[in-house]
């Protein structure tokens, strides 16, 4: 915990000064999480403001200060989900207004831009992020919280409101979907390209 329980209790009772201290304590961490979840640095500040706005108006619903951090993570994840859904709808709306030729040109430009970006990227972290970009929002957020943010299974249980076995199954299936993308890329990659070993990813839910 980055703050004392008493500070959370005072904030939940309407103490604005206490709430501001909580924001200052968690702002950097939450913005880092949001950045990894939405993948758009230019929008991180806006999404973070929405997270803390929701926190302000719902903090009085918190059952106990003991569960504050997983509760805040869950609030952040839900806000990111809402953001990603809006972005998807906006993209679909813009694409529906384009002619067939414009769509083809946009696809070609996006493909070229992606290839250039992939050539620019280096290192394991960038490669992992590119793999996660191809799975569903649900898989990407779950794996980011577990593998990048380093949350424990107990913390994830509180965020997702599921038991440990169900969470292990979700993680296993998400990892398998990422592994399939990895294997497809490995098959398509030119000879001599860098690809790490995927052996560690092929593990069942009993060893998570």
The listed range with the strongest mean pLDDT (48-52, 102-106, 158-162) is: 48-52
* Rounded Cα distance, 46 and 32, in Å: 13
Give the contacts of 196 (CB within 8 A, at least 6 positions apart). Answer: 124, 127
State yes or no: pLDDT of 186 exceeds 90: no
Class of domain 1-97: mainly alpha
Contact 59, 19 (CB under 8 A): yes
pLDDT band at 149 (very low <50, low <70, confident <90, very high): confident
pLDDT for 187-197, tens place per residue? 776 655 555 54
- The CATH classification number of 121-208 equals 1.10.10.10
Is there a common fold for 1-97 and 121-208? no
pLDDT for 38-64, tens place per residue? 877 888 999 999 999 999 999 988 888
* Rounded Cα distance, 97 and 95, in Å: 5
- Nearest-5° Cα angle at 77, 172 to 138: 35
Domain residue extents for the chain: 1-97, 121-208
More confident residue, 131 or 68: 68
* Rounded Cα distance, 80 and 13, in Å: 27
């Amino acid at each position: 915990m980055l703050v004392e329980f008493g500070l959370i209790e005072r904030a939940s009772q309407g103490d604005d000064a206490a709430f501001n201290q909580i924001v200052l304590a968690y702002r950097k961490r939450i913005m880092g999480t949001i950045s990894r979840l939405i993948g758009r640095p230019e929008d991180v500040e806006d999404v973070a403001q929405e997270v803390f706005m929701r926190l302000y108006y719902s903090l009085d619903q918190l059952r106990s200060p003991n569960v504050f951090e997983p509760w805040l993570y869950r609030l952040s994840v839900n806000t990111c989900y809402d953001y990603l859904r809006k972005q998807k709808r906006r993209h679909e709306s813009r694409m529906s207004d384009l002619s067939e030729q414009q769509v083809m040109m946009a696809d070609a430009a996006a493909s070229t831009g992606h290839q250039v970006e992939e050539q620019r990227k280096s290192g394991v972290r960038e490669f992992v992020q590119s793999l996660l970009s191809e799975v569903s929002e649900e898989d990407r957020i779950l794996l980011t919280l577990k593998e990048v943010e380093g949350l424990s299974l107990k913390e994830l249980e509180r965020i997702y409101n599921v038991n440990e076995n169900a969470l292990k199954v979700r993680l296993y299936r998400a990892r398998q979907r990422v592994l399939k993308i990895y294997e497809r890329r490995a098959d398509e990659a030119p000879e001599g390209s860098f690809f790490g070993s995927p052996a560690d990813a092929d593990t069942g839910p009993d060893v998570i």
